[in-house]
Structure 1
């Protein structure tokens, strides 16, 4: 089983000056991440957004079940392919 970690932790580990929010937006624009919605467990009629890796995104990580929200996943990225993913994020994020 390959070691995975959150995008926030991997960005910090690689000392990258980009926010997780911005990196996620870039990953969505690249088609590697998608936004899904689920009904809120606290507020009737409200929807909660969460991110999932797409088919192409699964080359860089896995969708792990979120322990605090069953049925919702959280993307976790492979440490060994993260540098390649980071290059894609940085290229796409350049003005």
Structure 2
């Protein structure tokens, strides 16, 4: 019996390949690195993920930032296989990548390929 699917497709943030189409829990990169005992800072990991095309630097104007430009990380289309961009709690004009817990082991394997 069950209920009809009430959420529009674009509102569901399931990772690519999720058979049930349901949303998955996400965490910040620093939390996942710590949880998995990886001795790497989030910034180091982001630099590696950028080389893989998973994340990219975006910019916005800021009166207080150096040269008036504030940089922040954002997931690329390729990166959306591993997570989603959420609105940054620090500034609503920035995104903050959050990664699917279920996809993190796969992302770690990808990180191992960067030199």
TM-score (norm 1): 0.90
Higher relative contact order by CA 8 Å / sep ≥ 6: 1 or 2? 1
Secondary structure, counterpart of 1:82 in structure 2? helix
For residues 69 and 88 of structure 1, do their structure 2 counterparts lie closer, same or farther at Cα, with a shift above 3 Å needed? same
How large is the Cα RMSD of the aligned pairs? 1.6
Higher relative strand content: 1
1:18 aligns with 2:40: yes
CA contact (8 A) 1:62 1:76 kept: yes
CA contact (8 A) 1:39 1:45 kept: no
- List gaps (5 residues or longer) in structure 1: none
Larger Cα-atom Rg = 2
TM-score (norm 2): 0.75
